[in-house]
Structure 1
């Protein structure tokens, strides 16, 4: 995991296996678009916010690919969930 200061976002860094697990849990059930995390930035709050820089593509690859930021919140207790997806 990258170094994080409370309230501030960390620098972008490689996705660890633990962060990949959080991403997979939060995005489980999404249909139509495939998001592949490339980098991650974190923010410590009452839990942890994650910004995953992803390669995104429609299930039909003929449509093309783009980058997106998938923001996920991991509360202190409970399951992580998506809070926002922004095409870049």
Structure 2
């Protein structure tokens, strides 16, 4: 790990998803409807829990040929279920 990755409160550079990153994303978006999000990379920030910024491809259900990029922000508390805090179309 680099010094930035170990610094509490600092965001890591975007990197490929680990199995844990994928599990957090899937749990937070379980039951989410209206837009399909496919995570490509993630950046994390250690706080009282972990903040995640997922760079994603987004598309409407049934219209997969129309794709845009979005950042899905998720907070995963130390104890409890991860949840979406914000979604930004970029």
Where does structure 1 differ by over 3 angstroms across 4 or more consecutive aligned residues?
none
Aligned residues: 88
Q: Is the 8 A contact 1:43 1:50 kept in 2?
A: yes
C-alpha separation in 2, matches of 1:21 and 1:63: 26
Q: Which sections of structure 1, spanning at least 5 residues, go unmatched?
A: none
Contact 1:4 1:43 in 2 (8 A): no
Q: SS in structure 1 opposite 2:27?
A: helix
- Aligned counterparts, 1:1-88, within 5 A: 3-61=5-63, 64-88=66-90
What runs of 5+ residues in structure 2 fail to find an aligned partner? none
Instruction: Compute the RMSD of aligned alpha carbons.
Output: 1.8
